[in-house]
Amino acid sequence: MPSSFRPLSRSFFLQSPAQVAPALIGKLLVRRHGSSQRCVRIVETEAYLGEDDSAAHAAAGLTPRTAVLFGDAGRAYIYLIYGIHLCLNVSTLPRGEAGGVLFRAADGGNTSDLSGPGRLTRGLGITAALNGGDLTRPGPLFLADDGCLPPAIAVSTRVGIRKAVRLPLRFFWDGHPAVSRPHGPVLSRLHPIASGAGARVYSGLTAHGH
DNA sequence: AAGCGGATCGTCT
DNA sequence: GACGATCCGCTTG
C-alpha cells in the first residue's frame, strides 16, 4: 500500500533496455479504469534490445507494428501474441533508437494473478487501445515510484524465445512468489548500493548463484 | 515435475 | 501461408 508516489520521468527511459529493465523492479504500475484505480508492484521484466537483438520485434526493423519501439521513450508497446494474449512493454531510448522492456509479472495482492505477461495484461484489463500511450503521465496506465527498493534482483535468460537465448536480460525480484515460471538458473544478482540515491542504484556483485 | 499440443489472429515473407 | 516475447489442461513418469 504505497502512501505516495510520483510518475517515472521521461529521462528514466532514455537509457538502454538492459538498464531500464532492472530499474523497473519494485516500481509501480498504475491502472485507472472508470472510477477505479489499481496499483501493482512490478516483480519481473525482460529487456529487448534494438535491431541487433534477433529475439526482439525491433529486429524486423521499422514497421507499423514496431513504430512505438522506434519512437519516443516511455510509451506503451502492446501486442497480441499467439492470437490470444496481450503483452505490455515500455519503449526506451530516444526517437530513432529501438528498445523495449517487457513486463512479465507484478504483485497485485491476494486476489489477483498477475504472474506471467499474458496474465498481467488480462488481470489489469489492459487492451490494445492503450498501445502508444504515455506511461510517464498519470492516465489510464502509467508507471510510478514510491521509493521501494528490492533487496536483491536476480538475473537470468529470457523466456519463450528461440533466438539470442543466452543473453542475461531477464530480471526479477529475487525470491518473490509472484515471479512467473520457469525461473531458470540465476546467472547473477544485483544488490542496492547503500547510499544510492542517484541514477545508478544497483551494483552487481554476486558472480554466480550457488 | 515436466513435456506435450491446442487455442487463435495480427504481422510480415 | 507460417510463425510467434503465452497459457492451460492433459499426459507421463
Residue A81 CB lies within 7 Å of the nucleic strand B: no
Output the distance from A131 CA to B2 C1' rounded to whole Å: 36
Output the pLDDT for position A200. 62
How long is the CA A160 to C1' B3 vector, in angstroms?
A: 15
Amino acid identity, residue A81? I
Q: Which nucleotides of B are covered by protein (CB under 7 A)?
A: 7-13
pLDDT-derived band at A192 (thresholds 50, 70, 90) equals confident
**CA angle A116-A34-A125, nearest 5°?**
15
Q: What is the DSSP letter of A58?
A: G
For the stretch A89-136, pLDDT in tens is 999 999 999 999 999 999 998 655 999 999 999 999 999 999 999 999
Tell me, what's the pLDDT at A112? 55
C-alpha cell at A78: 502492446
Residue A210, pLDDT score: 40
Q: What's the confidence (pLDDT) of residue A203?
A: 80
Q: Which residues, in sequence order, are CB contacts of A27 under 8 Å at separation 6+?
A: A8, A41, A42, A143, A144, A145, A148
CA of A119 to C1' of C11 (A): 24
- Indicate yes or no: pTM above 0.75: yes
Identify the band that residue A81 occupies on the pLDDT scale cut at 50, 70 and 90: very high
Model confidence at A209, pLDDT cuts 50, 70, 90, reads very low
Q: d(Cα A17, Cα A46) in Å, to the nearest integer?
A: 8
Q: In A5-125, where do the E strands start and end?
A: 6-7, 28-33, 36-48, 76-81, 85-91, 100-107
